[in-house]
Amino acid sequence: MSSRRSQSPLANRILIGSLTVLVLIIAVFLAYNANSGLPFVPTYDLNVQVPDAAGLLASDGVMIGGTRVGYIGSITAAKLPGGKVIAVLHLKLNQTLSRLPVDSTDLIRPVSPLGLKYLQITRGRSSRTLAPGATIPLSHTSEPVEIDDFFDMFSPKVRRASQVNLNNLGDGLAGRGNDLNEALGEVQPLVDNLLPVMSNLLRPATQWAQLFPSLERAAHEVVTVAHQQADLFKGIDLTFTPLSRHTQALQAAITGGPPALRTATRQLPAEARFIDDTTNLFHRLRPAFASLADASTQLAPAETAGIRALPRTPSLNRRLTATLAAIQRLAQNQATLPGLSLLTETAQLIEPTVAFIEPAQTRCNYLALFFRNLENALSESDQVGTMLGVTALALPQLPNSEAGPSSAPANGPPASEVAGVTPLTKGNYDDSFLHSDPYPYTAAPGQPDVCEAGNEQYVKGRQVIGTAPLSQSGTERTKRVLP
């Protein structure tokens, strides 16, 4: 049994050492090539066109949503048909990654200000995906803004001045170590007191979020009076320069400030509603104030007449006293309120009727036309009295015509379809068609703004029941001549 143990492979120290060295070499090799992918691991290969590599190196990472999903296998140059030279990144992504949509975009971003870079890919939303070996075109690449590009916007003189400033500020800061230590030591009480203050400011009741928009609106309101504000400060300087010579009087005035502030703190909240109502009132009166300029030509003669009438107002006021007393007695009369209630109900009952009658007159002038036509119809008169102007028409006997009984609206036939019609009676046959509009438009509520009654166009040779073509869009209106 002892001979077998001596022949066991584990007892050979050279063999064990060789295996250990081999394992270490393999581990170092895998660790060294970990950024470039492990051997025998399948990848999802894609190509990305970029304007230039922008500092990217082979084996730099590829990120999607902040997670490393692969690396850049290699970088090559390519020439577009137009002659422009670009860089092509050959990506090796994890096989477990789902295929990218064809509208995915990419951006080269820095890992840190030291110069390290990585490729960021943003997944698209297309249902079509990129097959292995496909290329993300140059149009889907966003160009990064490098830090040297940012500083290139400054002229060389400004960059040199910035360097001098940084050096001087660094030297000045380095020489204030003790002062910085003392300042940081005093910050703790400030932070302890600042926390409850900031908590109060962040409460919804403080409306802190409305402060800066309100300041912006206030600044927008005063921007048009900037020159006046500058003149104001100039005037304030002229005012306070003499006041600086009377410090004792100012001190006495400031001493009375706290009592005034306490009074204002107590009284101003009660006046806030009045101020809001006044602001709303003046906001509503703004159009009226704007109209005063146009109305001034009429207001000036009125004021001139008012000046002459003002001395006569005392006698008018004495007469108004009796009138107002009578109105007061009427208001205190027990029968007044029931009468007003009945009058209100009457107004409510006739409101729909007035709503239909009002446009018939104000828009179409129908009431005035009715009485004018009625007057014209009775204008013929003799020694006995007036007579109604009527002309009888002898219509032919046709089916359902007005010459006899009918069972349907008259509908011809025209003279061309009737035998034995003379030229004298031809018009009567051609007019044997009913034209009727029982409910013409009068610009009433719910109707078009059209005055249809009396403006219908007569259509010969066919029956028209209801809306007919109009001969004009409006109607005759009452003309008013201003003095």
Rounded to whole angstroms, the Cα distance separating 431 from 201 reads 88
β-bridge mates for residue 75, sequence order = 89
* Dihedral sign, Cα of residue 92, residue 93, residue 94, residue 95: negative
Asked whether the beta carbons of 48 and 136 are under 8 A apart, the reply is yes
Asked whether the beta carbons of 93 and 70 are under 8 A apart, the reply is yes
Count the Cβ atoms, other than its own, within 10 Å of residue 91: 22
| Two tokens, residue 53 | 């590599």
Radius of gyration of the chain from its Cα atoms, rounded to whole angstroms: 50
Count the Cβ atoms, other than its own, within 10 Å of residue 441: 18
Q: Which residue, chain included where needed, has tokens 């912006």? A: 216
Q: What is the DSSP letter of 324?
A: H
Rounded to whole angstroms, the Cα distance separating 58 from 46 reads 14
Distance set, CA 87 to CA 64, 69, 282, 467 (Å): 21, 21, 67, 76
In order along its 483 residues, the chain shows pLDDT tens digits of 444 455 555 566 676 777 777 777 766 655 555 555 545 568 889 999 998 888 888 888 899 988 889 889 899 999 888 888 999 999 999 888 888 999 999 998 888 766 788 899 999 999 999 999 899 998 888 877 777 777 778 888 888 888 888 888 888 777 777 888 888 888 888 888 888 888 888 888 888 888 888 888 888 887 888 888 888 888 888 887 887 777 787 788 888 888 888 888 888 888 888 888 888 988 888 888 888 878 888 888 888 888 888 888 888 888 888 899 998 888 888 888 888 899 999 999 999 888 888 888 888 888 888 888 887 777 777 777 667 777 777 777 888 887 788 888 888 888 888 887 888 778 878 888 888 888 888 888 888 888 888 888 888 888 888 887 776 554 554 443 333
| Two tokens, residue 220 | 């927008």
Rounded to whole angstroms, the Cα distance separating 284 from 150 reads 52
Q: Which helix (H) or strand (E) holds 43?
A: strand 43-50
Helix axes 336-362, 366-377, angle to 10 degrees: 70
Q: What 3-state DSSP class applies to 456?
A: strand
The half-sphere exposure of 394 on its side-chain side, counting CA atoms within 13 A, is: 3
Rounded to whole angstroms, the Cα distance separating 323 from 391 reads 59
